[in-house]
């Protein structure tokens, strides 16, 4: 013990004991640092960087937050755009209508120009043909309404008398005096709510003025779109870079082709509906068969919903003039025609190029109706069809789209 104690004191006196303790401590620290993940022996002292606070957030929460604020900005932008369009609806609606009608009439103009007519002459001939067709249709409807309206009133009164006698019997046992009293209350209601009626008339006059103003604007816009549509499009592309203009040109032509096919197919489907309903009403002898057929034709431009509304109106007129048997027959015709449209007319006439899932159609109609009413429901489906065809063309890259830095 004394020898060992003397040797230890001698080493401490020479300084070798302290050096051994220092070397042992360094070895222990090196062993501990080697046991840490991501470090190797000899990497030097441990200089840990403090972890930022945002990196401690879970990855799914960071991703959801990034998407949330982007979607919020997008929703604000869409809301502001919709408010601006709502303020300018007197301009926006005629321009959209002119674009849709141009998609219908532009193929005729192209054929006339290929036949040798100048652009101005082909445009005027196209508009004159459209005006003659529309004017003839309006004249036919007006004549049939004036001719069939007395018959409609007489048959409606007869049906009303039958309904009164039916309600007077079992199981309702309603007295005719009560029904007649209800009918007589209509004039008194109108006299008591004279201000409401006058406000409705004023509103109707405002709507009429906006309608005719929008009609004039629509005709001007349609004229120049038919005549100079290609030049206007090239002018818009000229303000873009070469690669961007090339992508936009592809997307624009794809969207225009979809719009032309959609309008052409929709017109064909609406004409088929109008002919079928008109023939059915004519066979049953229902008054206003031609005006109701025209209503069906116009309403068919709103997919799914339009035919149901116009068909309901035709059923009500049939029920009021011909009874419930003919109304049930017409209902069966409408159901069969609706199935034919869903499974035959839309896939074959409109084509596979712009086929949309029924859920997409319903959601588009709902969104368009909420945002812009009936005009929004009319243009919702073509807008969705155009977007679904234009976006792939915008995303698609071709060799000529690649710049020198991309190769």
pLDDT in tens, 298-349: 888 877 677 888 888 888 888 877 778 888 898 888 888 877 776 776 666 6
- 3 state SS for 308-359: HHHHHHHHHHHHHHHCHHHHHHHHHHHHHHHHHHHHHHHHHHHCHHHCCCHH
Residue 50 has pLDDT above 90, yes or no: no
Buried b / exposed e along 254-290 (16+ C-beta atoms within 10 A): bbbebbebbbbbbbebbebbbebbbebbeebebbbbb
Of the candidates 398, 316, 400, 388, the residue with the CA atom closest to the CA atom of residue 352: 388
Phi and psi (nearest 5°) for 38?
A: 85, 0
Tell me what the pLDDT averaged over the chain comes to: 75
Q: Does the pLDDT at position 14 exceed 60?
A: no
Q: Kindly tell me if the per-residue pLDDT of 73 is higher than 90.
A: yes
Angle between helices 242-284 and 305-322 (to 10 degrees): 10
pTM for the predicted model, two decimal places = 0.66
Task: Assess contact for 382 and 263: CB atoms under 8 A.
Answer: yes
Residue 128's Cβ-side half-sphere holds a number of Cα atoms within 13 Å equal to 6
Over residues 242-255, the pLDDT tens digits come to 888 888 888 888 88
Instruction: Quickly state the pLDDT bin for 125 (edges 50, 70, 90).
Output: very high
Quick: pLDDT tens for 289-302: 888 888 888 888 87
The tokens for 358 are: 């029924």
């Amino acid at each position: 013990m004394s020898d060992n104690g003397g040797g230890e004191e001698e080493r401490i006196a020479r300084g070798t004991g302290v050096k051994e303790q220092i070397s042992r401590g360094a070895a222990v620290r090196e062993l501990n640092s080697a046991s840490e993940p991501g470090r190797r022996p000899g990497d030097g002292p441990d200089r840990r960087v403090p972890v930022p606070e945002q990196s401690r957030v879970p990855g799914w929460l960071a991703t959801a937050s990034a998407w949330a604020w982007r979607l919020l900005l997008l929703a604000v932008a869409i809301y502001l755009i919709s408010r601006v369009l709502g303020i300018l609806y007197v301009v926006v609606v005629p321009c959209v209508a002119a674009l849709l009608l141009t998609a219908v009439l532009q193929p005729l103009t192209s054929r006339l120009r290929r036949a040798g007519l100048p652009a101005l002459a082909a445009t005027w001939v196209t508009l004159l043909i459209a005006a003659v067709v529309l004017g003839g249709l309006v004249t036919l409807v007006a004549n049939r309404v004036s001719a069939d309206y007395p018959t409609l009133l007489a048959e409606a009164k007869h049906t009303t008398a039958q309904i009164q006698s039916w309600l007077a019997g079992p199981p309702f046992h309603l007295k005719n005096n009560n029904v007649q009293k209800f009918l007589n209350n209509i004039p008194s209601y109108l006299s008591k709510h004279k201000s409401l009626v006058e406000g409705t008339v004023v509103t109707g006059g405002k709507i009429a003025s906006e309608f005719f103003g929008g009609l004039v604007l629509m005709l001007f816009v349609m004229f120049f779109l038919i005549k100079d549509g290609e030049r206007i499009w090239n002018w818009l592309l000229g303000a873009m870079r070469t690669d961007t203009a090339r992508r936009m040109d592809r997307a624009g032509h794809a969207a225009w082709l979809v719009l032309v096919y959609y309008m052409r197919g929709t017109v064909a489907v609406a004409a088929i509906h109008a002919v079928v309903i008109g023939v059915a009403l004519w066979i049953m002898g229902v008054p206003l068969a031609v005006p109701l057929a025209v209503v069906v034709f116009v309403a068919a431009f709103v997919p799914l919903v339009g035919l149901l509304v116009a068909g309901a109106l035709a059923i009500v007129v049939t029920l009021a003039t011909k009874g419930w048997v003919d109304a049930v027959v017409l209902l069966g015709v409408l159901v069969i025609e609706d199935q034919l449209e869903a499974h035959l007319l839309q896939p074959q006439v409109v084509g596979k190029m712009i086929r949309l899932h029924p859920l997409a159609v319903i959601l588009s109609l709902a969104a368009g109706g909420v945002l812009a009413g009936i005009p929004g429901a009319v243009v919702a489906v073509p807008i969705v069809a155009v977007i679904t065809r234009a976006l792939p063309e915008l995303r698609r890259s071709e060799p000529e789209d690649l710049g020198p830095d991309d190769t």
